[in-house]
């Protein structure tokens, strides 16, 4: 990892992606510090009804609590929340989740943009968002909102992505704060604790 990185305060960390992102999550989660002082929210594009075992799969890779986000649930530190399939996961001002079944955004529900945008208004400069491998531009507009509120925009190095389109679009359209190699992601998150 590069020396001299400025690490700001983190109140919430969102990891989002589409095609190829699950492999990254399976590599990152085992190396996360179990004493993380903020929530981690994961948005992964998946078909409705598919990957219902995703929370169990990810839970087996980490000592942190891993669960699917529930309506009106209080967002707690040290917990990994996964967006349910076929719902937009919105962050409310009282730091609870709201599940939304409105139209798809960028052909996706859950939409990365929707979560990034609502989280940015709540967590402002304390928000860190990481965009992983994926095949569409979902997340790019959300990252613009994150930056507008003073949050940190991060991407997986597109060269290491199974599908580089999503992080590459963010790199081209957003003032990205950090481009992370897969092997550096867990270390970066741990430094925020």
pLDDT at 193: 79
Lowest mean pLDDT among 55-59, 131-135, 139-143, 174-178: 55-59
CATH 3.40.50.180 at 21-124+133-166, yes or no: yes
Q: Is 57 exposed, middle or buried (0-12, 13-18, 19+ CB in 10 A)?
A: middle
Active site residue 128: no
- At 185 the pLDDT is 97
Q: What is the mean pLDDT of residues 115-130?
A: 97
Catalytic residue among 21, 88, 133, 138: 138
Among 21, 45, 88, 108, the active-site one is 45
User: What is the per-residue pLDDT across 14-28, written as a single tens digit (0 to 9) for each?
Assistant: 999 999 999 999 999
So what's the pLDDT on residue 1? Answer: 45
CA distances from 27 to 22, 131, 163 (A): 9, 15, 16
The Cα 28–Cα 66 span in angstroms is: 14
Is the dihedral angle over the CA atoms 92, 20, 22, 33 positive or is it negative?
negative
Segments making up each domain of the chain, as ranges? 21-124+133-166
pLDDT of 6 > 80? The answer is: no
| pLDDT at residue 54 is higher than 90 | no
Q: Are 38 and 77 in contact (CB under 8 A)?
A: yes
pTM over the 0.85 mark: yes
> Do 145 and 31 contact (CB within 8 A), yes or no?
no
Q: 132-168: buried (b, 16+ CB within 10 Å) or exposed (e) per residue?
A: bbbebbbbbbbbbbbbebebbbbbbbbebbbbbbbbb
Q: Does 86 participate in catalysis according to the annotation?
A: no
DSSP state of 103: -
Using alpha carbons only, what angle is made at residue 180 by residues 105 and 125, rounded to the nearest 5 degrees?
65
What is the tens place of the pLDDT at every residue in 151-174? Answer: 999 999 999 999 999 999 999 999
Categorize the per-residue pLDDT at 106 as very low, low, confident or very high, splitting at 50, 70 and 90.
confident
């Amino acid at each position: 990892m590069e020396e001299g990185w400025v690490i700001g305060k983190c109140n919430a960390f969102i990891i989002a992606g589409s095609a190829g992102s699950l492999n990254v999550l399976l590599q990152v989660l085992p190396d996360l510090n179990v004493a993380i002082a903020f929530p981690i929210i994961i948005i992964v594009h998946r078909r409705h009804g598919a990957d219902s075992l995703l929370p169990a799969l990810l839970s087996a890779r980490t000592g942190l609590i891993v669960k699917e986000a529930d309506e009106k649930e209080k967002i707690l530190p040290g917990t990994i929340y996964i967006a349910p399939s076929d719902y937009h996961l919105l962050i409310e001002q009282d730091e609870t989740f709201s599940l939304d079944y409105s139209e798809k955004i960028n052909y996706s529900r859950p939409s990365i943009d929707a979560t990034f945008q609502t989280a940015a208004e709540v967590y402002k400069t304390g928000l860190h968002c990481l965009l992983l491998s994926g095949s569409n531009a979902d997340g790019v507009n959300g990252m613009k909102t994150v930056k507008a509120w003073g949050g940190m925009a991060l991407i997986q190095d597109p060269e290491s992505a199974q599908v580089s389109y999503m992080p590459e679009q963010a790199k081209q359209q957003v003032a990205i704060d950090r481009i992370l190699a897969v092997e550096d992601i867990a270390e970066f998150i741990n430094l925020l604790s």
